Amino acid sequence: MHTQDNQQNTEIEKIREQFNYGPYPRVALEDSPKERYEGLYFHNLITAYYLRYGRVPETKGTMILDAGCGSGYSSLVLAEANPGAKIIGIDLSEKSVELAQQRLTYHGFDAEFYAIPLEEIGNLGLEFDYINCDEVLYLLPDPVAGLQAMRSVLKPQGLIRTNLHSSYQRAPYYRSQALFKLMGLMDDSPKEFEEEAVIETMNALRNTARLRVETWNGKFTPETPPEKVKEVLAMNHLFVGDRGFTIPELFGLLEEADLEFISMTNWRGWNVVDLFEDGDNLPALWSMGLAAASIADQLHIYELINPIHRLLDFYCGHPGEPAVSIDEWDDADWPTAIVHLHPQLRTEAMKQDLIRCIQQAQPFEISRNVPKPAMGKALLDPTRAACLLPLWEGKQTVAAIAQRYRQIRPIDPVTLEPVSEEQAFEIVKDLLNFLIQFLYILLERAA
């Protein structure tokens, strides 16, 4: 036991040294994520809260922890995405914490950073509404201890966004790490000598050697800045402490830590049906099998067929009752339900684009800021899009949107009959059901 503790401490020291040598990510201090809407979208605690509780909370006054904040770029994204939230960041590496503090101060945010290990987060005596733990968990000698530490400072309704590296997607890099470990390059925290040795090895290998094909060829051009090359090496071939996980392992860790899986953060990119040529006509094994499969099994099936995601990136929280799904709403719930536009779509540029599309009778690309993966653009016809315009000013009821539809299109252009209240309502309901799949809008059942 004692030896195991010592080994873990040595491993943690190596990781600290690695990130003191090269804080991650190496992003310039002045770089702003203000217009990187996709990043803002899943760092916005509203996205996670809506998936869990079907509610749209205020971000003002919430407490957010960036656990393993690195050089603070993710802390900055959290601050931008959650107006009025208090951001606290912690990291093992003193150098990273220093940079993170400078970054948030530079961008005008009042955030606090501490150089402490995640496992000791309880010592701060704080509780959080939302914890972001990005690209950290797979480095911990005991990820369950990390999850438990986060759970211990999570408010009862609080949520965690975290991730693990995928064993399947990163298999070539784990071979590369094993190789360079064998050659003694990872005995200490890797620095210039080790970086040079990897570059020399890769360039000396035959172009067709599998390791070179899978981890090297085409990754860099002569213009790639040396700092970028170093970051790629540090985060892949020479990444001390890096481990891969599968979906069943992820669910096993959550169970041990007494946390409940909520959703993948990019759930739109984990749909097994999308992997089939004709999703409406699956082989019998799959049409029946998928319907009966648990969410854990469905995700595992996805990673076995198509391991394209480097991260198993997910939301989780304390065990509890999930929100009533929209599919289970009564008809009476719909007219009074409140429709919000997702905050990352509610930008002046997008509103002006919508007005232009309405005026020029052109389709409106609602997926512009937050794309739908592998499914092309989400285009709305100008009439339907026009119903949504008031959402840029604030929330609306479904009934108000349906009424607006009737004002815009009072007559059915085919039959020339007046559009009835019921017809308008059904059209708007279909539209909202489509948009909610991607959380472009958020629908709250009236209290």
Ligand X SMILES: C[S@@+](CC[C@H](N)C(=O)[O-])C[C@H]1O[C@@H](n2cnc3c(N)ncnc32)[C@H](O)[C@@H]1O
Candidate list 47, 93, 246, 367; residue touching ligand X; CB under 6 A: 93
Q: Which stretch binds ligand X (CB under 6 A): 18-26, 47-55, 374-382, 385-393?
A: 18-26
Q: Which stretch binds ligand X (CB under 6 A): 2-10, 66-74, 170-178, 245-253?
A: 66-74
Shortest Cβ 264–ligand X spacing (Å): 17
CB 87 within 8 Å of CB 78: yes
Q: Which stretch binds ligand X (CB under 6 A): 35-43, 68-76, 374-382, 399-407?
A: 68-76
Q: Which stretch binds ligand X (CB under 6 A): 85-93, 257-265, 377-385, 411-419?
A: 85-93
- The DSSP symbol for 318 reads S
Shortest Cβ 62–ligand X spacing (Å): 19
Candidate list 40, 69, 81, 147; residue touching ligand X; CB under 6 A: 69
Q: Which stretch binds ligand X (CB under 6 A): 90-98, 244-252, 321-329, 383-391?
A: 90-98
Does the footprint of ligand X cover residue 25 (CB under 6 A)? yes
Q: Which residues from 103-132 bind ligand X, rule CB under 6 A?
A: 117-119
| Comparison of 10 and 217: residue with beta carbon closer to ligand X | 10
| Comparison of 70 and 190: residue with beta carbon closer to ligand X | 70
Shortest Cβ 339–ligand X spacing (Å): 33
**Residue 395, C-beta contacts closer than 8 angstroms, at least 6 positions apart:** 338, 339, 340
CB neighbour class for 224 (10 Å; exposed up to 12, middle 13-18, buried from 19): exposed
Residue nearest to ligand X (CB): 70
Does the footprint of ligand X cover residue 234 (CB under 6 A)? no
Strand ranges (E), 246-386 = 260-264, 311-317, 338-341, 364-365, 379-380
**Rounded distance between C-alpha atoms, residue 379 and residue 365, angstroms:** 5
Candidate list 96, 201, 246, 344; residue touching ligand X; CB under 6 A: 96
Does the footprint of ligand X cover residue 81 (CB under 6 A)? no
Candidate list 47, 74, 265, 344; residue touching ligand X; CB under 6 A: 74
Tokens representing 255 are 């169970």
Does the footprint of ligand X cover residue 150 (CB under 6 A)? no
Does the footprint of ligand X cover residue 139 (CB under 6 A)? yes
Does the footprint of ligand X cover residue 87 (CB under 6 A)? no
Candidate list 22, 51, 80, 91; residue touching ligand X; CB under 6 A: 91
**Residue 404, C-beta contacts closer than 8 angstroms, at least 6 positions apart:** 386, 387, 390
Helix (H), strand (E) at residue 213: helix 210-215
Does the footprint of ligand X cover residue 173 (CB under 6 A)? no
Shortest Cβ 227–ligand X spacing (Å): 15
**Rounded distance between C-alpha atoms, residue 75 and residue 72, angstroms:** 5
Q: Which residues from 33-62 bind ligand X, rule CB under 6 A?
A: none
Cα torsion 344, 348, 353, 357 to 10°: value is 100
**Residue 195, C-beta contacts closer than 8 angstroms, at least 6 positions apart:** 229, 230, 233, 234, 238
| Identity of residue 100 | A
| Comparison of 70 and 343: residue with beta carbon closer to ligand X | 70
CB neighbour class for 200 (10 Å; exposed up to 12, middle 13-18, buried from 19): exposed
| Comparison of 140 and 366: residue with beta carbon closer to ligand X | 140
Does the footprint of ligand X cover residue 138 (CB under 6 A)? no
CB 259 within 8 Å of CB 319: yes
Q: Phi and psi for 318 in degrees, rounded to 5?
A: -65, 150
Q: Phi and psi for 291 in degrees, rounded to 5?
A: -60, -30
Does the footprint of ligand X cover residue 70 (CB under 6 A)? yes
| Comparison of 89 and 335: residue with beta carbon closer to ligand X | 89
- The DSSP symbol for 267 reads G
**Rounded distance between C-alpha atoms, residue 216 and residue 303, angstroms:** 23
| Comparison of 23 and 335: residue with beta carbon closer to ligand X | 23
Candidate list 17, 80, 129, 134; residue touching ligand X; CB under 6 A: 134
| Comparison of 21 and 276: residue with beta carbon closer to ligand X | 21
**Rounded distance between C-alpha atoms, residue 20 and residue 115, angstroms:** 11
Candidate list 87, 140, 238, 432; residue touching ligand X; CB under 6 A: 140
**Rounded distance between C-alpha atoms, residue 313 and residue 74, angstroms:** 15
Dihedral sign, CA of 302, 309, 77, 343?
Answer: negative
Does the footprint of ligand X cover residue 15 (CB under 6 A)? yes
| Comparison of 236 and 396: residue with beta carbon closer to ligand X | 236
**Rounded distance between C-alpha atoms, residue 224 and residue 233, angstroms:** 13
Q: Which residues from 360-379 bind ligand X, rule CB under 6 A?
A: none
Does the footprint of ligand X cover residue 92 (CB under 6 A)? yes
Residues found near ligand X in the complex (CB under 6 A): 15, 19, 24-25, 68-70, 73-74, 90-93, 96, 117-119, 134-136, 139-140
